Structure 1
C-alpha cells in the first residue's frame, strides 16, 4: 500500500531561530528526519511541506521532494498539524496522487530511526489502528503533581493521592513529539489525528528529546552521540 512521509517545516520558528535547518552535529537537523524516512525504504514519497525557499533547498539537497509550497494560511503560528497534513493530502489529490498511509515526521526529531518508523507502521497494521505515535512514560507520577494556586501556595492536583505509594499509581504517558503514522482515509474522514483506534509505541527516553531551547538542543546532541555514534 502506498505511503508518504510528510515533514512539516515552516520557516517561522520563534524560540530557536531557523530551527528546522540549524546544524545538528554538522548537518541540518531536518536532514535526520529525511534520512530516517528514506533509509526505512517504506515510503513511495518523502516530502517536506514548507513555505520557505531556503528550507526547501536544504530538503531537496538531502533527498526529500518539495512538489509544492505550503499556503500562507497553513504556515502561520496558529495552523495545526492536522491542517497542514490535510493541505498536503489535498494538493497531492489535485496532481493525481493518493496514499493509503502517511507518516508526519517532525523536522526536529533527530533521534528517530528507520527501525522506530518501521515498528510504528507494523503496530499500525497489526493492531488495526487509525494512528500510532511514540510515547514516553512520565518520569514522576503525575498523580502526585503540584500546582501553584491564586495565593501563590502549593497544592496537589490530586490530593486524594497524597499518601499513595508511587508504585501503586498507574503509569501515565506523554507524546514523544516525533511523528504520527496515520491511516489516510480515516484521517481525512475525521480531520483529526487522534481519532478512532490510537496505538502508542513505547520508547526508551534515550531515543526522544523535546527541543525547545538551547539546552534541549545540547541534550539531544549528547543522546545522539551516545545512541548512534560509534
Structure 2
C-alpha cells in the first residue's frame, strides 16, 4: 500500500499554551508522533501541517518529509480537523505529483500510542476491504446504557435506556471513548467525507493508559507521569 502519514498541529492553544512545542521527556510534544511514524516504517511520506513556523521548524528537525503551511481559515479555534487533513493530503500530492492509497493521521496531542498501535491498526484496517476508515478508542469508563446520564428540562435520565433495564455495567453493550490517537482513511473516502463517522467505520481498541489526549494542564501532567514511567514513547 502507498501510505502517507499526516500530523496536524496548529500554533494556538487555549487549554495548554504552546502545547505542541512544549517538552515531554525533553523533546517537543509533536516530535514524539514524528518519531513514532518514522520508526513504524509504514509510511512513504510523513507530512506535518501547521500555521506555526516554530512547529514546522521542529518538524523539519525531527525528520518530517513535507512541511505544509496551513491556511489561516483552517487554523482557527472553530476549524474542524477533517478539512485540515484533507488540505494536507491534497497539497502533499500536488508537491510530489503522486497519489496515496491510505492516509493515516497521528494526533500530536496523543503521544502515548505505541508503534505497535500504528502497525496493528493499519493491519486491521487494510485487512478489512469493506472499511472506509478507522478510528481508535478505549473502553469507556461510563456506559450510556447504565451510568451515563443526561439532564433534560431539569430531570435526569440515562443517555440510551434499554427496553429491558440492566443492573450491572458488565451486561451493557460495549462502549468506547474516542481517544483521537490514530485515524486511518482510504484516500477517496477521506476526500469526499464531511464526518469521521461513515457507514463502514471500524474501531481499533487501545488500552486506557495509551489513550489520553492532551486538552488541559491536568492531561499534560497525566501524560508526563505515564511517559516517565515508560521511560520512552517509541
Per the TM superposition, whether the score is higher than 0.5 is yes
Q: Is the contact made by 1:123 and 1:199 (CA closer than 8 Å) also made in structure 2?
A: no
Residue-by-residue CA offset, 1:149-189 (whole Å, 9 max, x unaligned): 544x6544456676632222112112111120111122223
Tell me what 2:12 maps to: 12
Deviation at 1:191, TM superposition (A): 4.5
Q: Tell me, in whole angstroms, the C-alpha distance in 2 between the residues paired with 1:109 and 1:21.
A: 13
SS of 2:145's equivalent in the other structure is helix
Residue-by-residue CA offset, 1:114-158 (whole Å, 9 max, x unaligned): 21100011011111222112111112322232334544x654445
Tell me what 1:25 maps to: 25
Residue range with higher mean Cα deviation, 153-162 or 55-64: 153-162
Residue-by-residue CA offset, 1:48-80 (whole Å, 9 max, x unaligned): 100110111111111113433111111122221
* Pairing partner for 1:134 from 136, 152, 157: 136
SS of 2:141's equivalent in the other structure is coil
SS of 1:180's equivalent in the other structure is strand
Aligned residue pairs total: 229
Change (3 A) 1:193 1:157: closer
Q: Tell me, in whole angstroms, the C-alpha distance in 1 between the residues paired with 2:161 and 2:92.
A: 51
Deviation at 1:93, TM superposition (A): 3.3
SS of 2:122's equivalent in the other structure is helix
Deviation at 1:192, TM superposition (A): 3.8
Tell me what 1:199 maps to: 202
Q: Tell me, in whole angstroms, the C-alpha distance in 1 between the residues paired with 2:158 and 2:110.
A: 33
Tell me what 2:67 maps to: 67
* Pairing partner for 1:208 from 194, 197, 211: 211
Q: Is the contact made by 1:86 and 1:191 (CA closer than 8 Å) also made in structure 2?
A: no
Deviation at 1:225, TM superposition (A): 2.8
Tell me what 2:224 maps to: 221
Tell me what 1:81 maps to: 81
SS of 1:176's equivalent in the other structure is strand
Q: Tell me, in whole angstroms, the C-alpha distance in 2 between the residues paired with 1:30 and 1:47.
A: 12
Deviation at 1:90, TM superposition (A): 1.9
Q: CA RMSD in A?
A: 2.1
Deviation at 1:97, TM superposition (A): 2.6
Q: Is the contact made by 1:206 and 1:227 (CA closer than 8 Å) also made in structure 2?
A: no
Change (3 A) 1:93 1:64: closer
Q: Is the contact made by 2:60 and 2:67 (CA closer than 8 Å) also made in structure 1?
A: no
Q: Is the contact made by 2:68 and 2:92 (CA closer than 8 Å) also made in structure 1?
A: no
Change (3 A) 1:42 1:140: same
Q: Tell me, in whole angstroms, the C-alpha distance in 2 between the residues paired with 1:68 and 1:229.
A: 28
SS of 1:201's equivalent in the other structure is strand
Matches within 5 A, 1:148-159: 148-151=151-154, 154-158=156-160
Residue range with higher mean Cα deviation, 90-99 or 187-196: 187-196
Tell me what 1:90 maps to: 90
Which sections of structure 2, spanning at least 5 residues, go unmatched? Answer: none
